[in-house]
């Protein structure tokens, strides 16, 4: 193995990571985004370089020898924010846990420690790679030393050897300090020579090699450069000295001290897990430098086997009856299913597992059918049950002829309510997060890609372990989370809203919705023809043929060939952005922009919906069965997949055409939509106690006209469409953080006019202003906000020193109680309506839930009667200080609806 010394410039990396990554906090509230970024780059370097030796250099607190030379050194730097300061000790802790030697010395910077290692350590035959975010260290590059420098973000790096330094900077490594001598360095407050910029400094060094050479031959220099340099030799030499990395720091390190053999990977893993970086553990275990370290493999990769748990395969009926009798006496039993796929509506059940004690689990094969004893147990409502993602299991069992009863919990939903900052509530992830346990991946059983098999093709012995493990950890998570739910006062929200919503969604998903395939086929043909036309038009406007769907090719056409302006366009890793939001800034400058925008919209909707919907039809039912997700949106809103109903455009002609494909089963039925009218504004009126809004809603007035009348000082009858539009924009926009800038953009007025307009708005709606101010104060004091029904959302970014992050958190905090309460009202309505359907009080099928709308399929003869029953439930589901209003629309499809006339 080639000897490689890896030197990590911790200080520079931590600073870069802190500013590159959004706030990330542990469950205790400690911000760790800089630590995470440092570890990402460290692990990348360990993997890519595979070193034989590692050291990590840190700055020491206090002043350095450079402050003696130049008291103003780094004097321009702002004080390090506390949320960054608190992360340095954590990085040191993690580094120490790994067993990497730490280099730091009072009076010297990390750069000096690294320079001293390079100068003094016996590195014969050892290649050295320095990892940093700082250009200064390029001066150390030589035949034996390379620098891996951070570019954009955290993991994007460039490896510099002598040739790369010359290519990128037109300098040799040794000239870096001369460049700093002439150019200075604003980040360190190194003065340099005023008037000598980047280009001038490089040109001078190309000709005269060094600062000394420049001033030795100053008579050969003319013009502005000469004028700038005259009398500035001392400051240039001082600046060069300040930029020169020391090679004489005290060093008590031998190369053998940094050997990988002396590292402690298990302690490193424990430290990473302590700060909840669970996603990094598999990367650590796969590092080549620790290959063969059994302790790492056991801790990270291999599932704990039968020495830790008692997982049994139950294939004998008498044994099953005996075990179920024990389960019946337990306080709760966790249930899980194994199937031949991920479609809970159509994929068949292979087996079921259950657990009623920690570290135990039982697997029961269910082919060709669910055993009678297990069916009886599952359908007994007196036996309390839990699981993880129980909606899936309930649907699988129903498809197998078993109506499970007695569910009182779901650990996935518990995690969603308790861990509001987390994006992953999957069983595997939570087992890792909460217990440090890596569950057996399903790919070990069924494989991947073309060779993937179904679960029924796997030996029952292998399936039994995997399935019993799932049930065991679903139980363990329940036992951990259930007490916390009560402690956090989330038990009412869970029991009254989240769990009943989960159960109400089962029949909605099972009902599905009919799709008009011929309509979509005709629409597809028409749109593909239009897409082809647009492609030809774009090629003509561009003057060449290219792949319109390729961002890189489009980038070249727009900004190199057509030379469209790039000043206000965002830059990405691959160059100038061609994202829709950026191309919007170019509208009106060239006709190609409008053509590209239309092309993209049509291409996206065609591939996502028009061509995809027919493929989603279930062969058994002839309908589409969308999956509703409860654990994604932080506000409590539902989302859906296969298809994503929320992303169908609402106010466009094409979006409405797509909705027309969702149809009633036959001519004897209608699609009926019941939509909460302005629910968010009604909620904000209630929460803010805004007198004008409450009065307007109680009187049934047009709230936007009422606001417009007050803002413009006219009677409500004299409000014109322009006034109403402006009032509507701010009524809704204020809930999403609209300020002066937003009003200027939407209304086309000056900043001063927008400020006056906003001030007037808050005079008119003093209650809303008070609500916003109080919510900001609350989130700053407590770090979270909550809905009317107790749904909480944490905002760790509220403590950030970054003003933009803080402002973003404030805007989201103002919006969350409104969105969250509206979501809770919708869920309560769904629960109550489905309960009435189940009891027979309402004769209808609930088939969709999108935004503030419930969609039903109802027999034509019963539409008026049944829809009014649903409307009554929805309008009376909660009592607010303003009435809830539900609009009813009816039609043969979802896109062609008209208001119901009684």
Give me the DSSP letters along 186-211.
Answer: GGGTB---TT--HHHHHHHHHHH-SH
- Looking at residue 74, its pLDDT comes to 83
Q: How far apart are CA 626 and CA 628, in angstroms?
A: 6
Q: Indicate whether 850 pLDDT > 80.
A: yes
Q: Indicate whether 709 pLDDT > 70.
A: yes
**832-860: average pLDDT:** 97
Let me know: does 706 contact 716? Beta carbons within 8 Å. yes
- Looking at residue 295, its pLDDT comes to 37
Quickly state the pLDDT bin for 14 (edges 50, 70, 90): very high
**360-386: average pLDDT:** 97
**568-580: average pLDDT:** 80
- Looking at residue 844, its pLDDT comes to 98
Q: Indicate whether 901 pLDDT > 80.
A: no
- Looking at residue 535, its pLDDT comes to 96
Least confident of 56-70, 163-177, 730-744: 730-744
Q: Indicate whether 495 pLDDT > 50.
A: yes
Q: Indicate whether 298 pLDDT > 80.
A: no
> Positive or negative, the Cα torsion across 813, 818, 819, 825?
positive
Let me know: does 454 contact 338? Beta carbons within 8 Å. no
* Average pLDDT taken over every residue of the chain: 90
Beta strands at 662-663 and 127-132: parallel, antiparallel or unpaired: unpaired
Greatest Cα-to-Cα distance within the chain, rounded to the nearest angstrom: 104
Q: Which of 531, 540, 581, 576 is nearest to 558 (CA)?
A: 576
Q: Indicate whether 878 pLDDT > 70.
A: yes
- Looking at residue 568, its pLDDT comes to 81
> What are the DSSP calls for 217-252, one per residue?
TGGG--HHHHHHHTT-HHHHHHHHHHHSPPS-S---
- Looking at residue 303, its pLDDT comes to 37
Q: Indicate whether 99 pLDDT > 80.
A: yes
- The model's pTM is 0.74
- Looking at residue 294, its pLDDT comes to 41
Q: Indicate whether 820 pLDDT > 90.
A: yes
- Looking at residue 751, its pLDDT comes to 83
Quickly state the pLDDT bin for 441 (edges 50, 70, 90): confident
**501-530: average pLDDT:** 97
Contacts 24+ apart (CB under 8 A), 532-539: 534/595, 534/598, 534/599, 534/602, 535/599, 537/595, 538/592, 538/595, 538/596, 538/599
- Looking at residue 1, its pLDDT comes to 60
Quickly state the pLDDT bin for 368 (edges 50, 70, 90): very high
- Looking at residue 292, its pLDDT comes to 54
pLDDT in tens, 767-817: 999 999 999 999 999 889 999 999 999 887 787 666 777 888 899 999 999
pLDDT in tens, 210-231: 999 999 998 888 888 888 888 8
- Looking at residue 802, its pLDDT comes to 67
Quickly state the pLDDT bin for 68 (edges 50, 70, 90): confident
For 882, the 3-state DSSP assignment is: coil
Let me know: does 332 contact 408? Beta carbons within 8 Å. yes
Q: Indicate whether 504 pLDDT > 90.
A: yes
Beta strands at 349-355 and 157-160: parallel, antiparallel or unpaired: unpaired
| Residue, of 259 and 283, whose pLDDT is higher | 259
Least confident of 432-441, 495-504, 612-621: 432-441
Quickly state the pLDDT bin for 120 (edges 50, 70, 90): confident
Q: Which of 625, 601, 629, 647 is nearest to 515 (CA)?
A: 625
In terms of phi and psi (left: phi > 0; alpha: psi -120 to 50; beta: otherwise), the region of 311 is beta
- Looking at residue 769, its pLDDT comes to 94
Question: Which residue bears the tokens 């430098």?
Answer: 289
Burial 143-171 (b: 16+ CB within 10 A, else e): eebbbbbbeeebeebeebebebbeeebbb
| Residue, of 842 and 752, whose pLDDT is higher | 842
Q: How far apart are CA 877 and CA 434, in angstroms?
A: 37
Least confident of 242-246, 667-671, 803-807, 849-853: 803-807
Q: Indicate whether 304 pLDDT > 50.
A: no
Count the Cβ atoms, other than its own, within 10 Å of residue 526: 12
- Looking at residue 253, its pLDDT comes to 86
Q: Indicate whether 854 pLDDT > 90.
A: yes
- Looking at residue 573, its pLDDT comes to 61
**536-545: average pLDDT:** 95
**302-315: average pLDDT:** 70
**478-500: average pLDDT:** 96
Domains of the chain: 4-170+245-279 (3.40.50.1010), 310-488 (3.30.420.10), 515-622 (1.20.1060.10), 626-677+787-798+805-902 (3.30.70.370), 680-786+799-804 (1.10.150.20)
- Looking at residue 305, its pLDDT comes to 44
User: In Å, how far from its chain's centre is CA 896?
Assistant: 36
Q: Indicate whether 534 pLDDT > 50.
A: yes
């Amino acid at each position: 193995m080639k000897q490689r010394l890896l030197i990590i410039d911790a200080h520079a990396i931590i600073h870069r990571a802190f500013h590159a990554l959004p706030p990330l906090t542990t469950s205790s509230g400690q911000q760790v985004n800089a630590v995470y970024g440092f570890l990402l780059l460290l692990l990348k370097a360990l993997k890519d370089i595979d070193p034989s030796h590692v050291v990590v250099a840190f700055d020491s607190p206090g002043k350095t020898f450079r402050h003696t030379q130049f008291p103003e050194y780094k004097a321009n730097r702002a004080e390090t924010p506390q949320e960054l300061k608190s992360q340095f000790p954590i990085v040191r802790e993690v580094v120490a846990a790994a067993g990497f030697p730490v280099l730091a010395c009072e009076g010297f910077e990390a750069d000096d420690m690294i320079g001293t290692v390079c100068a003094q350590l016996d590195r014969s035959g050892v290649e050295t790679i320095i990892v940093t975010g700082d250009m200064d260290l390029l001066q150390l590059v030589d035949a034996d030393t390379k620098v891996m420098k951070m570019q954009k973000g955290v993991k994007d790096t460039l490896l510099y050897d002598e040739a790369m330094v010359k290519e990128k900077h037109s300098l040799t490594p040794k000239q870096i300090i001369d460049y700093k001598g002439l150019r200075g360095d604003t980040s360190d407050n190194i003065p340099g020579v005023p008037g000598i910029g980047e280009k001038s400094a490089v040109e001078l060094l190309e000709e005269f090699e060094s600062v000394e050479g420049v001033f030795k031959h100053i008579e050969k220099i003319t013009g502005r450069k000469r004028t700038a340099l005259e009398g500035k030799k001392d400051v240039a030499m001082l600046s060069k000295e300040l930029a020169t990395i020391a090679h004489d720091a005290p060093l008590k390190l031998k190369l053998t001290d940094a050997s990988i053999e002396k590292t402690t990977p298990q302690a490193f893993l424990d430290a990473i897990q302590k700060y909840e970086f669970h996603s990094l553990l598999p990367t650590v275990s796969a590092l080549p430098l620790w290959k063969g370290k059994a302790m790492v493999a056991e801790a990270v990769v291999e599932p704990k086997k039968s020495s830790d748990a008692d997982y049994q395969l139950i294939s004998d009926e008498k044994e099953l009856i005996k075990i179920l009798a024990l389960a019946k006496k337990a306080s709760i039993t966790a249930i899980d299913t194994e199937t031949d796929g991920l479609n809970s509506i159509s994929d068949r059940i292979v087996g079921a597992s259950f657990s009623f004690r920690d570290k135990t689990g039982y697997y029961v094969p269910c082919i060709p059918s669910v055993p009678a004893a297990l069916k009886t147990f599952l359908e007994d409502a007196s036996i309390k049950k839990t699981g993880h993602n129980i909606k899936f299991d309930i649907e699988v069992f129903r498809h197998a002829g078993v109506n499970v009863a007695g569910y009182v919990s779901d650990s996935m939903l518990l995690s969603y309510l308790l861990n509001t900052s987390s994006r992953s509530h999957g069983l595997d992830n939570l087992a890792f997060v909460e217990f440090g346990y890596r569950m057996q991946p399903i790919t070990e059983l069924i494989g991947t890609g073309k060779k993937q098999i179904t679960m029924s093709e796997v030996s029952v012995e292998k399936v039994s372990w995997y399935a019993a493990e799932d049930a065991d950890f679903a139980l363990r998570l329940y036992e951990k989370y259930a007490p916390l739910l009560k402690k956090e006062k989330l038990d009412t929200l869970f029991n009254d809203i989240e769990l009943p919503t989960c159960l109400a969604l089962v029949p909605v998903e099972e009902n599905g919705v009919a799709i008009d395939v011929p309509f979509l086929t005709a629409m597809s043909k028409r749109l593909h023809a239009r897409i082809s036309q647009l492609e030809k038009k774009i090629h003509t406007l561009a003057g060449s043929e290219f792949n319109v769907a390729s961002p890189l090719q489009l980038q070249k056409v727009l900004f190199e060939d057509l030379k469209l302006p790039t000043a206000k366009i965002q830059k990405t890793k691959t160059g100038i952005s061609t994202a829709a939001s950026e191309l919007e800034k170019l509208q009106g400058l060239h006709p190609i922009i409008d053509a590209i925008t239309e092309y993209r919209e049509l291409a996206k909707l065609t591939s996502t919906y028009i061509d995809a919907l027919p493929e989603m039809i279930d062969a058994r039912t002839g309908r589409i069965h969308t999956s509703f997700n409860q654990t994604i949106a932080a506000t409590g809103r539902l989302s859906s997949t296969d298809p994503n109903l929320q992303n169908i455009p609402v106010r466009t002609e094409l979006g409405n055409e797509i909705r027309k494909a969702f149809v009633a089963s036959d001519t004897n039925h209608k699609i009926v939509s019941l939509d909460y009218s302005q629910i968010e504004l009604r909620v904000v009126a209630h929460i803010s106690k805004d007198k004008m809004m409450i009065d307007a809603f109680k009187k049934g007035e047009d709230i936007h006209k009422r606001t417009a009348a007050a803002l413009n000082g006219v009677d409500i009858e004299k409000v014109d469409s322009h006034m109403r539009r402006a009032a509507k924009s701010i009524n809704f926009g204020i809930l999403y953080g609209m300020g002066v800038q937003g009003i200027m953009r939407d209304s086309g007025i000056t900043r001063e006019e927008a400020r006056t307009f906003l001030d007037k708005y808050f005079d008119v709606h003093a209650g809303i202003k008070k609500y916003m101010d109080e919510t900001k104060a609350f989130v700053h004091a407590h770090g979270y906000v909550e809905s009317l029904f107790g749904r909480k959302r944490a905002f760790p970014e509220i403590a950030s020193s970054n003003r933009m992050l803080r402002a973003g958190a404030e805007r989201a905090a103002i919006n969350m109680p409104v969105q969250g309460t509206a979501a809770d009202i919708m869920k309560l309505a769904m629960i109550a309506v489905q309960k009435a359907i189940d009891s027979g009080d309402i004769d209808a099928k609930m088939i969709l839930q999108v935004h503030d709308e419930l969609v039903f399929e109802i027999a034509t003869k019963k539409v008026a009667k049944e829809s009014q029953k649903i409307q009554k439930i929805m309008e009376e589901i909660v009592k607010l200080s303003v009435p809830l209003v539900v609009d009813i629309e009816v039609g043969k499809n979802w896109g062609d609806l008209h208001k119901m006339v009684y």
